[in-house]
């Protein structure tokens, strides 16, 4: 069964803390994505990567960075967490063809106090 | 700007049929996607339309009219497990997905 695994389902952090969200996929997919999901809004793309060591900014990259050292792993980093980054974070992967069929992880619900 | 519109919430009865609409205005078009998301879970892919017309997949069908910027997801023989949010997304000319806010579907017995 194909799988995208996010390291933490729930996290509570304090303002100013550094936060790491890890995502691993076992489908050998080239493409990986980080989204945030907030009530009343569509999924918003933070960063994406089409290959190892490659990263591209999405629609809302401010306050975030990413790392893709290995094909299967895509990490989202909040250098200094703020309360407006309280959200559900979804990682997704897809094969190289631009089909738009994404495979999502279960999500990481981050609360910043 | 790019925009995807879908109703916020809909209610339907078990065993009935429901149609969830999605209208879009995007920079180019490379396909429209429907995803299902149960509360607290990951979105899962349901359907993909790139040509006009109806695509049927079991109890679920998806329709597209590119000239009208319009799609709908049709769910037949509704079951309680169909209670979920349904997300509409359009792939634009840059092959980026633009997402609607989702429609929460409530099924009543």
B20 pLDDT above the threshold of 90: yes
Percent residues over pLDDT 90 in chain B = 93
Question: By CA distance, what is B33's nearest residue in A?
Answer: A100
- The Cα of A25 is separated from the nearest Cα of chain B by a number of Å equal to 14
* The pLDDT of residue B1 is above 80: no
* Angstrom distances, CA of residue A8 to CA of A12, A16, A105, A107, B60: 10, 19, 11, 8, 33
Using 50, 70 and 90 to split pLDDT, how confident is the model at A97?
confident
Q: What percent of chain B has pLDDT over 70?
A: 100
Beta-carbon count within 10 A of B2 CB: 13
**Inter-chain contact B91–A43, Cβ cutoff 8 Å?**
no
pLDDT at B12 over 90: yes
Q: Is the pLDDT of residue A96 over 90?
A: no
Give me the pLDDT at residue A98, please.
62
- When pLDDT is cut at 50, 70 and 90, the band that residue B2 belongs to is confident
As a whole number of angstroms, the distance between CA B102 and CA B89 comes to: 9
pLDDT digits (tens, 9 = 90+) for B28-81: 999 999 999 999 899 999 999 999 999 999 999 999 999 999 999 999 999 999
Identify all chain A residues contacting B96, using CB atoms and an 8 Å cutoff: 45
Closest Cβ opposite residue B31 in set A41, A45, A100: A100
């Amino acid at each position: 069964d194909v799988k995208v695994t996010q390291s933490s389902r729930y996290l509570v952090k304090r303002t100013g803390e550094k936060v790491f969200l890890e995502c691993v996929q076992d489908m050998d997919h080239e493409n990986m994505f980080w989204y945030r999901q907030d009530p009343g809004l569509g999924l918003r793309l933070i960063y994406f990567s089409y290959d190892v060591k490659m990263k591209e900014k999405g629609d809302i990259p401010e306050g975030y960075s990413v790392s893709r050292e290995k094909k299967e792993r895509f990490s989202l980093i909040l250098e200094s967490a703020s309360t407006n980054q309280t959200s559900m974070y979804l990682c997704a992967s897809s094969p190289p063809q631009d089909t738009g069929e994404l495979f999502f992880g279960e999500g990481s619900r981050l609360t910043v106090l | 700007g790019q925009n995807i519109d879908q109703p916020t919430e809909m209610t339907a009865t078990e065993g009935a049929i429901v149609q969830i609409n999605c209208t879009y205005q995007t920079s180019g078009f490379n396909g429209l996607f429907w995803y299902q998301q149960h509360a607290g879970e990951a979105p899962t892919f349901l359907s993909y339309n790139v040509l006009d017309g109806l695509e049927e997949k079991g109890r679920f069908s998806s329709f597209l009219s590119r000239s009208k910027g319009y799609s709908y997801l049709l769910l037949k023989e509704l079951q309680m497990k169909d209670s979920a949010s349904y997300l509409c997304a359009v792939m634009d000319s840059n092959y980026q997905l633009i997402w609607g806010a989702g429609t929460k579907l409530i099924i009543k017995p």
